[in-house]
Structure formats: structure tokens, C-alpha cells
Structure 1
Amino acid sequence: MINSNSTQTVLVTGGSGFIAVHCILKLLQQGYTVRTTLRSLNRQSEVKDMLKVGGINSFDNLSFVEANLSEDKNWSEAVDGCEYVLHVASPTPAIKFKHEDELIIPAKDGVLRVLKASKDANVKRVVLTSAFGAIGMGHKNRTTPYTEKDWTDINSDIPPYQKSKTIAERAAWDFIKNEGGNLELSTVNPVGVMGPVLGTDYSHSNQSIRQMLEGEIKVCPKISSCYVDVRDVADLHLLAMIHPEAKGERFLASSGEALSMLDVAKILKRRLGDDAKKVPTKEVSNWLMQIAALRKPSLKMLVALLGQYMQASSDKAKKVLNWKPISAEDAIIATAESLLKLGLIKK
């Protein structure tokens, strides 16, 4: 990794988020001056507390700006003087919504708002946090690993969150092509993000580990996913930010082979002993999951993933950027151990 210094300012959007706070952590450790946006400045102390858990003791190089992806207010101030922008913030999956546009429009408009402000402020490069959901959904009978050349088919029956990520990333690339000027763009497309939790704000993948450890999940749906450690996702953002060859490129962030939910459960059982006594040991049939989703709408997103081929290749990031992720197993255990250490698991 190339060392930098405090003469370069990097904006990280959505600083309280799981990936974003790890990006801030890496940037501060490498000497960058960091500015981050929050929807409410009331969360400043929460972000600092998470960074303290991660080992940061000085906040001289960190500042906060109140900005919301749904409004123009303060975005010009947020990007002013920044060399780079890591646009990590994104609307999160809502369990209850009346129409998919409640996710799609904020995601798309938010990306364009950040890109326009970045262009106007002469930012060198924006790294957009996209998702595997913009790559690997809506493909039938897939048998080969997904790569950065793949795009999710938004005309197929896919969950609104994955659709929103696809439309937002497409809009970003269209903006760069048609009106981006000298602004550069790279995207990072993570699979299921695991790794050390620093506070109560963490990813959906980590929620599944909490639910297993607490016994909330009684049986495992037949769903597979690749996984990646959040520290490696942050590393990839920084590599995509500074590496000349990352300009105009997408990078899948995945540590290796796809694991079923039962595989994850077995890892927890094997590595955590008594702390994993409530973790499920059996799979549930697809038809039972489908019936359960009729009664519990929050399960609909899971049903859409049943039996889907989810293998994703990160060869490009490894070859182009010399990115070296840790194993999925170690990322999963890092999640579990941090949740236990912070007292976030109900005994």
C-alpha cells in the first residue's frame, strides 16, 4: 500500500456505516485527512467510539459534515478540497416499503448528487461502493463464476435492493461517460461482508451471524453466498482510489468459494464451542421457506435467493491491484468474536 499524508483529504460518505467506518479507520492509519458525512451530526461520538474500538486515539485528522443523499444541501462543502471521494453511503434494505422506487430513486439520485458535486470540486477520483447485487442477480442456469463483466438483469424478478444497486451503478457509469469531464470512477462490488464489528451499526451479513448465535434462526435456508472481510473491502477501496490502473474499472470483492448457510453454521460450531450452542445444524426445504414467506414478508428477499448460483471471482482485484483477502472462515469468525466481545449477543 502506498503511504500518503495529511495534505490529501478524502471524503467518505455515510461515516457511521459498517464499511465506511472501516474505510475511515484505514485512511487515518495511513495518514490521510478524512472528512465524512452523516445524516445527523448527533452521531459523531458514535463514529469516534467505533474508531476507538478499531485502535484510533487521535481525531485531529477527522472532520464531519451533515449531508443527506436525498438533498443538495452541504454536498459542495463536503467535497471541497478533496482529492478523492469514497462514496460508501447507500439506502439500506427496508423490510417494509410500498414500492421499490423507495429504494431505487434515493440510491440513484444519491450517487448522481455525489458525482456532480465531486466533478464541480475537481475531485480526482470517486470510488463507489456498489455490490455483488449489481452483478449476480437475474441470471438463470448459471454455472461459471460471476466476474466484473456481468450485470444484474433488472428486467427479471429480483429483490428491489439489488435492483437499486444495479440502477445506481449504471447511472454512475453513464454520468462519467456523458458528463464526467476529468472525474475518474472506480467501483467496488462486495459479496456478503463479514469481519470485525466496531459498534451496533453493522452489515446485513453480520446480522445473520447474530441471529444464528442467538438461536433466532432455527434452521438454515438453502442459500449460498461468497463472503469477504470488511477490512479487505476497505483495503480494496483504498487500492482502487490510488492505483492508476483502477480508473474506469469495477472490482468484485470476494474471498473465495461460495458457502451455504449450513456451511457457515458448521464453521461457527467448530470454532466457537459453547458460544455456538444455539447455532442451527439442519437445513430447511425450499417449499417450507416459501410458505413461511407468505406469513412473514421479511423473508421474501431470502426466498428470491433460494438455490441461486452465487460463486464470484475476485481474480481481477488480485491481479490488477495485488489485493490479498483473508479466508471467508476467518472473516466469519472475526464477526462472531467481535459481536461476543462487544456484548451484542443475547445469551
Structure 2
Amino acid sequence: MATPQDIILVTGGTGFIGARLIFQLLQKGHTVRTTIRSLTKEASLRSALTEAGASPSNLTVFAADLTSDAGWAEAINGCTYIHHVASPFPATNPKSEDDLIVPAKEGTLRVLRLARDAQVKRVIVTSSFAAIGYGHQPRTESNPFTEEDWSVLDNLAIPVPAYQKSKTIAERAAWDFISSEGEGLELAVVNPVAVFGPLIGKDVGTSNSIVKRMIDGSVPGCPQLYFGAVDVRDVAALHILCMDSPAAVGERFLAVNDDPNVSMLDVAKTVKKGRPELAKKAPTMQLPNFVVKLIGLFDPGVKLIVAELGKRMPASNGKAKKVLGWQPVNTETSLLDTVDSLVAQGIL
């Protein structure tokens, strides 16, 4: 278990998950370091943490990028634990898959290599459901995805998008490194599904942007998409449990709440019912698949989701609950807290 004397590094500190994890660690009295791509964002990060109720006096910020060696050794030396959260995430398909795969894989290996050399005790890597549930046929709630599953990248019948490939390849590389070159370095992995919940700062997060677009009226209808959901506060808490528990070593943990199949229409209905004055423009109809496919011909962002239309991909949280005692909040609480946070930040 981490002590107040231990130094803890969180990579990607200005991101949606990274900032929340820093906040929770500071709240627990830990000494925290973080890496961000540019120190021009340091002041806004400190301000956001203060506004959220944490004192950033125990936070040290380093400039480091996934694509370069610069800054990483300084950030890592002296740390006992590392939460490697940073990873590239595209708004549209990249021109080349390697634009995502190379920095995700090499960035992870760089952190692990330096962590080993600096005698760090444990690294917790933020992977994703993307490394578990893609390239498969749809599942049922009686046969959900678990930590035993891996995304299948060589199934030509079910192509896997670049982001999902990058997370799968990066996580596999991490486990291979620990097995062959880790020299006693401990590894645990967190695999979140779609992450909602309140913001720290202005980074909305990929999933929260769906809520924002529904409320501001920029989404005319709901594609037939299904996904697991989890709150960012619970994702951060699971990282800390993985840091503190000996039982987490050598394990991966799905971060998903108890609602196995949340649809886009469910999201719209929840915010419309819970915050009716704000969500007057939220869509109430489901878009036919052919309409979404047609839009995808002209909109690269929509094209990303076409292959997932109608697929149900339930995932189990049984392992995190049983092994670590993790207890996530429900989807409704997470979504409504998201809306309230977007309003408080002036984004809605």
C-alpha cells in the first residue's frame, strides 16, 4: 500500500482520467508527479485541481511526450508507483494506423523500461475495453466479456479500428515486457469502457462529449449503439486499488458499472428525464442504421461507429468487485453528474 512518503507519477495529467486520478491521490495525502505535453498547461491544471477542492502543493509537473525520450527519466526517477494513463485518442480515423499504434506501444514500453531501471515498485497501465471486446461476434449478458478475453486483430471478417488496435498492441507489449524484461517490476492493468462523470478542468472526455452534443442539440437522433459505462471517479478509484492491493499484481481489471448494455437512446432519455430544462433539445428517436451509414460516407467521425451499429458488447465487473472490493456508481448518477459538471464548467 502506498504511503505518504511514496512518490506517485500519473502520466497524461491534463486528460479526463488523469486529472481525476491526480485529484483523488492528492485528496488522500499523496505526493504526486505528473507529465503533460506542454508546461503551458500547468497553470490551468493547478487551477482546476484547486477549484475541485484539492491542494496542488504536493504536485510536481514535468513536460514529457509519448513520442520522445525527453523528460521521462526526470519524471520517473524516485517514484514508487506509476499510473500510465496517457495515450493518443483520435477524433477521426488517422491517415495511418501507425500514427496511433506506434506512440501507444512505444510510449508504454518507454515508461516500463525507465520504471524498471529506476526500481519503481509497480506500474498501473490504463488500457481499455478496446483491448478486450473487438474482433469478436456480439455477446449476450449471460456470456459477457471478461478479463480473459482479448481483441482479435487478425479476424478479417470483423475489422478492428486503429484506436482499438493501438490499445490491444500496447497492452500486449506491456505484458510481454514484464514477462521477458521486467526484472521484478510489478504490473496491473485497468480496462475501462465508456467513461462518463464530472470534469476537472475543461477536458470533456470522449464519452462526455456525447452527452454535451445531445443536450446542445447537435445530435438529431440516436444511432443504434450499445456500450458499457463507468464513472471517471470509479476508474480513478480502481487505479488506486490496483496500486494498493497485492492481489492486483499481474492482473487486468475491467472498469464497467452494473448496467451491461447502455444505448445512446438510454443516455438521451436519462438526461432528458433527470435534467428536463437543460435537455429540451436531446433527441428522442433512434436513427435507422441506413441513415447513419449514409452520413458516415461524408462524416469521418460517424464513419468510425458504423461497424458497431446494433452490436451488444456486455462486460463483467465481477473480478474488480471480488478481488479488490470495487463498487461503481450507476449510469444515471454518472450521467446526471456529467451534465451538472458541464454546466458548472460553462461548457453547457
1:24 and 2:27 are equivalent in the alignment: no
Taking the aligned partners of 2:196 and 2:309, their CA distance within structure 1 comes to: 20
Give the percent of matched residue pairs that are identical in Structure 1 and Structure 2.
49
1:257-272 matches, within 5 Å, as: 257=259, 258-272=261-275
The counterpart of 1:131, out of the listed 119, 128, 136, is: 128
By how many angstroms is 1:5 displaced?
Answer: 4.2
Q: Deviations over 1:230-256 (max 9, x none)?
A: 000000000001100000000000012
1:278 and 2:281 are equivalent in the alignment: yes
Kept after mapping to 1: 8 A contact 2:18/2:85: yes
The match for 1:299 is 302
Deviation larger for 197-206 or 27-36:
197-206
Q: Which amino acid counterpart does residue 255 of structure 1 have in structure 2?
A: N
1:1-347 matches, within 5 Å, as: 5-56=3-54, 58-95=55-92, 97-143=94-140, 144-156=143-155, 157-257=159-259, 258-345=261-348
Query: Is the partner of 1:339 in helix, strand or coil?
Result: helix
By how many angstroms is 1:6 displaced?
Answer: 2.9
Q: Which amino acid counterpart does residue 221 of structure 2 have in structure 1?
A: V
By how many angstroms is 1:59 displaced?
Answer: 2.3
Q: Which amino acid counterpart does residue 49 of structure 1 have in structure 2?
A: S
Taking the aligned partners of 1:175 and 1:108, their CA distance within structure 2 comes to: 11
Kept after mapping to 1: 8 A contact 2:93/2:304: no
Taking the aligned partners of 1:204 and 1:229, their CA distance within structure 2 comes to: 13
Task: Name stretches of at least 5 consecutive residues in structure 2 with no aligned partner.
Answer: none
Kept after mapping to 2: 8 A contact 1:5/1:30: no
Kept after mapping to 2: 8 A contact 1:5/1:33: no
Taking the aligned partners of 1:69 and 1:289, their CA distance within structure 2 comes to: 34
Taking the aligned partners of 1:54 and 1:134, their CA distance within structure 2 comes to: 32
Q: What's the TM-score, normalizing by structure 2?
A: 0.96
By how many angstroms is 1:141 displaced?
Answer: 4.1
Taking the aligned partners of 1:256 and 1:50, their CA distance within structure 2 comes to: 30
Query: Is the partner of 1:10 in helix, strand or coil?
Result: strand
Kept after mapping to 2: 8 A contact 1:159/1:304: no
Give the number of equivalent residue pairs.
342
Taking the aligned partners of 2:81 and 2:42, their CA distance within structure 1 comes to: 21
By how many angstroms is 1:322 displaced?
Answer: 0.3
Query: Is the partner of 1:344 in helix, strand or coil?
Result: coil
By how many angstroms is 1:96 displaced?
Answer: 5.2
Task: Name stretches of at least 5 consecutive residues in structure 1 with no aligned partner.
Answer: none
Q: Deviations over 1:123-169 (max 9, x none)?
A: 00000000011101111142221100000111230111111101100
